C-alpha cells in the first residue's frame, strides 16, 4: 500500500529564514505533486516532478525529487509572510489515484 | 480561478438526509475527480470519471455515489448522512485520464448537524 508521509506537519518560522519540508513515500511512483492550500480555499498546483533528480523552482520555492530514496523536498528560501499556507505533497498510484500527504501547515511570522 | 466550478459552496443539512454536489469541469477536460477533505482523514480520493465512465475508485462509501453526464458535469450524491461526513468536498478536472495538470474547484463545505 502506498503511503505518503510529510514532515514536519507544522512549521512556524521567521521571515527571511530558509527551511525544508520533506515528503517520503513508500512505493515506486512516477510522479509527485506539490500543492498549496490557503485556509478554507482550494488547492493550487505548485510543481509536478516527473523524474529522478527533477528540480523545479518558482520564486522562493524549490522542489526536488529523488526517486531512489523515495523522497521529495520543498525548500523555502528567505521566507515571506505570503508563503504562509498548508503545503501538500501527493504521489500517483499506478491507477492514477493520488495519495496525499497529511500536509505541512506553514506559518511565517513577520 | 481554476475554471472548475462547484456548487453549492456551503451546505448545512441534518443527519439521515441526502445531498447532491455539482461540479462543472474546465472547458475541454474529460476527467473529473472527487475528493473529501476532513480534519481527521486528510485528503481522500473518492472517485474519478472520464468522459462519462467510471475510471477509478478510491475510499468512497457505499452511501455515496457519483456520475458524469454527457455534458461532462458531474454530481456527487451523499445519502444517509452522518455527522462524520462533514467535510470539504473538492472536485478536480484534467484533460486526460491521468492526473497531470489537474485543477481543483473551490470546494463545497458540507456540515451535517
Tens-place pLDDT, residues A88-99: 999 987 656 788
**Contact assessment for residue A34 and residue A87, using Cβ atoms and an 8 Å cutoff:** yes
pLDDT of residue A99: 86
More confident site: B9 or A27? B9
Cβ A43–B42 below 8 Å, yes or no? no
Has residue B100 got a pLDDT over 70? Answer: no
pLDDT of residue A94: 66
**Contact assessment for residue A84 and residue A106, using Cβ atoms and an 8 Å cutoff:** yes
CA-CA distances (angstroms) from residue B97 to A50, B31, B90? 17, 6, 18
Cell numbers for A1, please give them: 500500500
Cβ B104–A43 below 8 Å, yes or no? yes
Question: How sure is the predictor about B112, in pLDDT bands with cuts at 50, 70 and 90?
Answer: very high
**Contact assessment for residue A19 and residue A7, using Cβ atoms and an 8 Å cutoff:** no
**Contact assessment for residue A12 and residue A21, using Cβ atoms and an 8 Å cutoff:** no
What's the whole-number mean pLDDT along residues A75-88? 95
pLDDT of residue A69: 93
Cβ-Cβ contacts under 8 Å between A and B: the total is 47
Has residue A30 got a pLDDT over 80? Answer: no
Has residue B107 got a pLDDT over 90? Answer: yes
Has residue B79 got a pLDDT over 90? Answer: yes
More confident site: A54 or A74? A74
Residue-wise pLDDT for B22-78, tens only, equals: 999 999 999 999 999 988 888 888 999 999 999 888 889 999 999 999 999 999 999
Nearest Cα residue in chain B from A96: B98
What's the whole-number mean pLDDT along residues B78-106? 89
Partner-chain residue, chosen from A42, A90, A102, that has the shortest CB–CB distance to B106: A42
Amino acid at each position: 500500500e502506498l503511503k505518503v508521509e510529510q514532515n514536519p506537519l507544522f512549521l512556524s518560522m521567521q521571515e527571511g529564514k530558509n527551511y525544508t519540508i520533506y515528503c517520503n513515500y513508500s512505493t515506486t511512483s512516477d510522479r509527485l505533486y506539490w500543492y498549496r492550500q490557503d485556509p478554507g480555499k482550494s488547492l493550487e498546483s505548485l510543481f509536478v516532478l516527473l523524474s529522478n533528480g527533477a528540480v523545479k523552482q518558482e520564486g522562493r520555492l524549490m522542489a526536488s525529487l529523488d526517486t531512489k530514496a523515495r523522497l521529495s523536498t520543498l525548500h523555502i528560501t528567505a521566507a515571506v509572510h505570503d508563503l504562509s499556507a498548508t503545503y501538500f505533497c501527493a504521489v500517483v498510484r499506478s491507477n492514477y489515484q493520488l495519495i496525499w500527504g497529511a500536509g505541512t501547515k506553514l506559518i511565517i511570522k513577520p | 480561478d481554476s475554471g472548475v466550478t462547484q456548487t453549492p459552496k456551503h451546505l448545512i443539512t441534518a443527519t439521515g438526509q441526502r445531498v447532491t454536489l455539482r461540479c462543472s469541469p474546465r472547458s475541454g477536460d474529460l476527467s473529473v475527480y472527487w475528493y473529501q477533505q476532513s480534519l481527521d482523514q486528510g485528503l481522500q480520493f473518492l472517485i474519478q470519471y472520464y468522459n462519462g465512465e467510471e475510471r477509478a475508485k478510491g475510499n468512497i462509501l457505499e452511501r455515496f455515489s457519483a456520475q458524469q453526464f454527457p455534458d461532462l458535469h458531474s454530481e456527487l450524491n451523499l445519502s444517509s448522512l452522518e455527522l462524520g461526513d462533514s467535510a470539504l468536498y473538492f472536485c478536480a478536472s484534467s484533460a486526460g485520464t491521468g492526473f497531470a495538470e489537474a485543477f481543483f474547484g473551490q470546494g463545497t463545505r458540507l456540515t451535517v448537524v
